[in-house]
Amino acid sequence: MKTLLTSVLMLLAAFFAGGPTVETMTVSKSESTVTWKGRKVTGEHFGKVTISKADLQVVNNRITGGSFEMDMTSITVEDIKDANSNKRLTDHLKSDDFFSVDKFNKASMVIKDAKTNNGKDYQMTADLTIKGITQPVTFNAKAEMQGNKMVATSNILFDRTKYDIKYRSGNYFENLADRLIYDDVELEVRLVATAS
């Protein structure tokens, strides 16, 4: 009887203890970066977007979820050194031809699934929202603990036309020749997070 009572108490304790504890790690906006890259027939452009807020959910040093938000008003162009040309492209990216920043000043990504066998190499699925339109994206990521910080990196490719960004897309306009802009946009993401 005593053994049965002990077993029941142990089962109850295990039940109420629940599963592994989910830890929320806060992403440092100053140490983290999002670099965008767009390509066209005649070359490419790249720049940065500021992270306005972000966090990662972690269990036993493994990412299980998280999200980050980008301030689209902060978008920069880094490959054009001439100030006037730089401003012209930056303003164009903020216009309705591209990201409609006046109407949609935030873009975001929410991790829905994170698979890993070793705690370092991940295959992730996330919801990416741009211009108020949400589409799923799948990508590979790497994460590692560096002291008390987790550093996660990934290259995310998305089709801009799925977010109503069709300017000079070969799928929507004919005879663009060397004015064509490719549909795929790359985001190079580096998140540095510490326990809250």
Tell me how far apart the alpha carbons of residues 169 and 95 are, in angstroms, rounded to a whole number. Answer: 16
pLDDT in tens, 21-47: 878 999 999 999 999 998 887 789 999
Tell me how far apart the alpha carbons of residues 23 and 192 are, in angstroms, rounded to a whole number. Answer: 15
Structural domains present in the chain:
23-195 (2.40.128.110)
Tell me how far apart the alpha carbons of residues 56 and 27 are, in angstroms, rounded to a whole number. Answer: 7
- CA triple 20-25-31, angle to 5 deg: 155
Tell me how far apart the alpha carbons of residues 47 and 91 are, in angstroms, rounded to a whole number. Answer: 13
Question: Would you say 124 and 154 are in contact if contact means Cβ atoms under 8 Å apart?
Answer: yes
Q: Is the pTM of this model over 0.85?
A: no
pLDDT in tens, 70-84: 999 999 999 999 999
